[in-house]
Amino acid sequence: MNDWKECTDCGDDVASSRWSLGYRTCLFCGEDRARAERASWTIIQEYTKGNYQYVSNSSASLTLKQTNQKSLRA
């Protein structure tokens, strides 16, 4: 019943139930990947009471310029 697979990053054991869900990494490598991905996220608030907005690296400069209340929008 305990059929273990091998982590694609470090070679450690991965439970078959985790493997069947599509995770090919162990918990530790998965956590490292998630932390690296979250480090690239930016969430901003449009105005004082505005919505929160996700900003990706490619659209950051344009989006941040548009949310500045004190500058003219182009």
Q: What is the pLDDT of residue 2?
A: 65
pLDDT in tens, 35-45: 988 877 777 76
The pLDDT profile of the chain, 74 residues, written as one tens digit per residue, is 568 899 999 989 998 988 999 999 999 999 999 998 887 777 776 666 777 777 777 777 777 777 666 666 55
Q: Which residues contact 9 (CB under 8 A, 6 or more apart)?
A: 25, 26, 29
Identify the CA nearest to 8 among candidates 42, 45, 31, 23: 23
- Per domain, the residue ranges of the chain are 4-38, 40-74
Encoded tokens for 14: 């991965």
| CA pair distance 35, 43, nearest whole angstrom | 16
